[in-house]
Amino acid sequence: MTHNALRLVGSVALALVAACHQSAPEAAAPAAPNTLTAEEQRSGWRLLFDGQSLAGWRGLGYPSVPAEHWSVDGGAIRKIASGKARTRPDGQPLEASDLMTVATFRDFELAWDWKVTPGANSGLKYNVSEELSTSLAPTHAAKAFEYQMLDDDRHPDGKLATHRAGALYELVPANDKKRLAPVGEWNHSVIVLDGNHGEHWLNGEKIAEYELGSPEMNKALAASKYAPIPWFATRRSGHIVLQDHGDEVYFRNIRIKELHRAP
């Protein structure tokens, strides 16, 4: 093999190694929605949504699912827009509620698909304490880390970098690797939370990263609306929560792999 050929092979090998290091922990959505392959099951992945029911979920602060606000539609969890939600007999709206897993998780990789309708705002929250969240108004909304889900172009929050889709809401903006699918199309997201280290991935790219306790994160927390909540950034075994922000959004392929599990 010539010297130039060796250099070419070496360059290709280095490029492949670099690509591997830039791959998402769980890079691709499954071919069949809401399913796991045998290999995924062996490696520790489990479904949090079976595609047919809301088993394993309930409203935050409620013993069951607020069915007037959450349903299963076409193999996805649908957040029913508040304007379309059922009302009480007197015509008053039933109180909305974030939807949370019954189970709690501490260190994990979490993956899911999501899409928003025009102008919609929502999010996926994690490290959630139900007890602490319900101690503050509004009592059925989680106060925790949030992976923002948004129509960046139509919703007013799109004007703020830390409120745009993929951001750690209010704290860490998405970087320039972000590629957001058009409104009405599915996005694939991954969250990694391992100790004090967090990552947000979107459509195969790492778009946000943070370290709890770092000077940068402490500064961001102090400047945020969460500053008055002393327990906000405390690490815990917490619930996974789908946000009820009043708009119509969809979630599917929700799966999790716990890290550092006991053998």
Measured between alpha carbons, how far apart are the two ends of the chain, in Å?
Answer: 48
pLDDT of residue 96: 72
pLDDT of residue 89: 60
Distance CA 27, CA 23 (A): 6
Instruction: Average pLDDT across each block of 10 residues of the chain; the chain has 263 residues. List them in order.
Output: 46 42 56 91 96 98 94 97 64 72 98 98 97 94 97 97 98 98 98 98 98 98 97 98 96 96 56
Within a domain: 33? yes
Distance CA 105, CA 145 (A): 14
Within a domain: 57? yes
pLDDT of residue 260: 83
Within a domain: 263? no
Residue 96 is classified by DSSP as P
pLDDT of residue 16: 41
pLDDT of residue 32: 86
pLDDT of residue 94: 56
Q: Token digits for 33?
A: 């929605």
pLDDT of residue 117: 98
Q: Domains in the chain: how many in total? A: 1
Distance CA 79, CA 164 (A): 19
Within a domain: 73? yes
pLDDT of residue 19: 43
Residue ranges making up the domain that contains 64: 3-258
Within a domain: 23? yes
CATH code, domain with 129: 2.60.120.560
Within a domain: 62? yes
pLDDT of residue 179: 98
